[in-house]
Amino acid sequence: MIVLSAVLVSLFVFLFVRIQGAVTGSEFSPDSFSVREFRFYELPIFHLQITPIDRSTVTPSTAIYLRQTALINSPTKTPDLWHLVSMTRGFTGKTPADAELLVDQLNIKIAGGAYWRLWSVDQPAKAKVFWPIIQKLAKREMYIMMPKLFEIAQSERSVDEMTERLDQSLRSQYEGLIRDMRAADQNELADQFFKEMLEDFPNDFPNDSPIEP
């Protein structure tokens, strides 16, 4: 009975870890626009990793095109910076992260292939303006600001008109975030957002005056 009980307990523990302890997800590199999936096992409840991390590359064709055509600034070495796209633990379901807002766009398909790759091929002048802005925001982890910019990029406008609208949207979104953070007494975060805004639009704040709520 003791041996049988030990076997049953071991089997239960094995199945519990096998099912509920499985952790899967994906990560995005803002440096190279690479995407990779990962998988490992952990002790459920305690979240203690018990197996090595297994990774595989799943970079979208759009991202590969952006690197090959130098529409983004990609380093030659393996990226060190990775942002979480999503993660799933056992039966808890997928938990998305902000980087998913960009990765979803890179993965959009239409009948002719990858949507944003085709857009970049068809409109190279716009692409040269648009993608460096997206990469800059990705490095800052400002993925929340991107959906509006993707909408603007798709509109039928000249490069100058697109650029102006992108700048207007960035200013508006930054100002809104800064005011919200100050209103919530998150002044350190508000100062960081203001510093980023000042880097992009130094002429808007000649005296480096902060935005108040």
pLDDT in tens, 77-131: 888 899 999 999 877 778 999 999 999 999 999 987 999 999 999 999 999 999 9
145: Cα separation from own chain's centroid: 11
In the chain, what percentage of residues exceed pLDDT 70? 86
Tally of CA atoms within 13 A in the half-sphere of 142 that contains its CB? 22
**Which of 4-18, 138-152, 153-167 shows the highest mean pLDDT?**
138-152
Q: Tokens 């523990």 sit at which residue?
A: 13
Q: What is the pTM of this model?
A: 0.87
